[in-house]
Amino acid sequence: MQLHVIARGKIGRTPEAELVDRYARRITWGMKITELPDRGGNVPPPPPGAVRTVALDERGRQLGSVEFARILERWRDEGVRETRFLIGAADGHDQGLRDGADLLIAFGAMTWPHMLARAMLVEQLWRATSIVAGHPYHREG
């Protein structure tokens, strides 16, 4: 299954970009990152076949890392070809996008800068794929 992060805003050469790169290089599943302008620009069309969409949203579920990993593992085992992770700009996502997502997730009740949220998401994708693979990176408890 390909993991596809679609994020609003250009990360450029920032410390957050270094974190994103560090964790993205570790992911052994297919990994792709697409940047869109803060406003406008179209989300790229999904590939043929089963696709799931996850939107990062302050009203989303707060999942533990193992629970998140098990969701991705289940989708992979069901034949999902791509899971898309949508990160909005400063104003978040519109209601239509939230309604169309298969899952809304939040990194807690606090508001996070969207560039930092990108780094946090890619680290959690690395952690989730490590959990699925039985790699010792994640320590429960």
Q: How far apart are CA 38 and CA 90, in angstroms?
A: 8
User: 139 lies in a domain?
Assistant: no
User: 138 lies in a domain?
Assistant: no
69 is in an annotated binding site: no
Q: What is the pLDDT of residue 141?
A: 61
pLDDT digits (tens, 9 = 90+) for 53-112: 999 999 999 999 999 999 999 999 999 999 999 999 888 888 988 999 999 999 998 888
106 is in an annotated binding site: no
Total of domains in the chain: 1
Supply the range of the domain harboring residue 65.
2-133
Estimate the crossing angle of helix 114-133 against helix 65-77, to 10 degrees.
70
pLDDT digits (tens, 9 = 90+) for 126-136: 999 999 999 88
107 is in an annotated binding site: yes
User: 141 lies in a domain?
Assistant: no
User: 121 lies in a domain?
Assistant: yes
Q: How far apart are CA 6 and CA 41, in angstroms?
A: 11
Q: Specify the CATH number for the domain of residue 37.
A: 3.40.1280.10
56 is in an annotated binding site: yes
Estimate the crossing angle of helix 114-133 against helix 15-24, to 10 degrees.
20
Least Cα distance to 103 among 137, 130, 74 occurs for 74
